[in-house]
Amino acid sequence: MIILISGNSQTGKTLMSQKLLERYHIPYLSIDHLKMGLYRGTSNCGFTPLDSNEHIAEVLWPIIKGIIMTNIENNQHLIIEGCYIMPHHSRDFEPEYADKIISVYLGFSQRYIEENFLSGIVKHRNVIEDRGGPEERSIAEYIGEHEAFRRKCLDNAVHYFEIDHSYEAEMKQVYEYIDVQKKEREVTPNCEESDGASL
């Protein structure tokens, strides 16, 4: 089983991955680490950290997709988080793979950003890892990014969760969704194997 967590920066993807690791004992991969490993490890990786998220996403996606498929084929579990999983990527798998993937996309409403930009968003940007340097985007730019991402999610009919009022309360709905989806995907004993074991 694979859990994919995507969304704009500072929506709590890494924190959620850490909590899911503690809850399910499933390791997680930060795509930011993959990105920087490729950038620092080769002079011909096809992007720089200053390129747009969309460009970096398209360069990294074949690698991420390969990691996902390999884990599923090996019956291994992994959480992958990062802003480089685009909504249209969810359509990129055959059913035998898609059935073993749980995808969630996170975003903030305009109201939430306006009311919590400094106190609730920027303040907690380093809760899991040090991002270094101050937040350079304006509220208007941040709102625009989230609105654009929301439209992409709606256009691709993915499971988009928008935080509008209370971060903690509304994030519980995301965890509950993952819990339900995980239980539905858990492998149950094969009837034939059970019959054979009793002979």
Distance separating alpha carbons of residues 165 and 151, to the nearest angstrom: 20
pTM of the model: 0.86
Q: Dig out the tokens for 24 from the structure.
A: 């399910």
The residue range of the domain holding 174 is 2-186
Q: Tell me the pLDDT tens digit for each residue of 76-106.
A: 999 999 999 999 999 999 999 999 999 999 9
Q: Tell me the pLDDT tens digit for each residue of 146-176.
A: 999 999 999 999 999 999 999 999 999 999 9
For residue 132, pLDDT beyond 80:
no
- Listed in order, strand segments (DSSP E) in the chain are 2-7, 28-30, 78-81, 101-108, 160-163
Specify if 192 maps to a domain: no
CATH number of domain containing 87:
3.40.50.300
Specify if 7 maps to a domain: yes
120 and 95 Cβ atoms separated by less than 8 Å? no
Name the domain count of the chain: 1
H/E segment holding residue 182: helix 167-185
What is the C-alpha end-to-end distance of the chain, expressed in Å? 32
Specify if 193 maps to a domain: no
For residue 128, pLDDT beyond 70:
no
Specify if 197 maps to a domain: no
Q: Tell me the pLDDT tens digit for each residue of 14-54.
A: 999 999 999 999 999 999 999 999 999 998 999 999 999 99
CB neighbourhood size of 29 (10 A) = 16
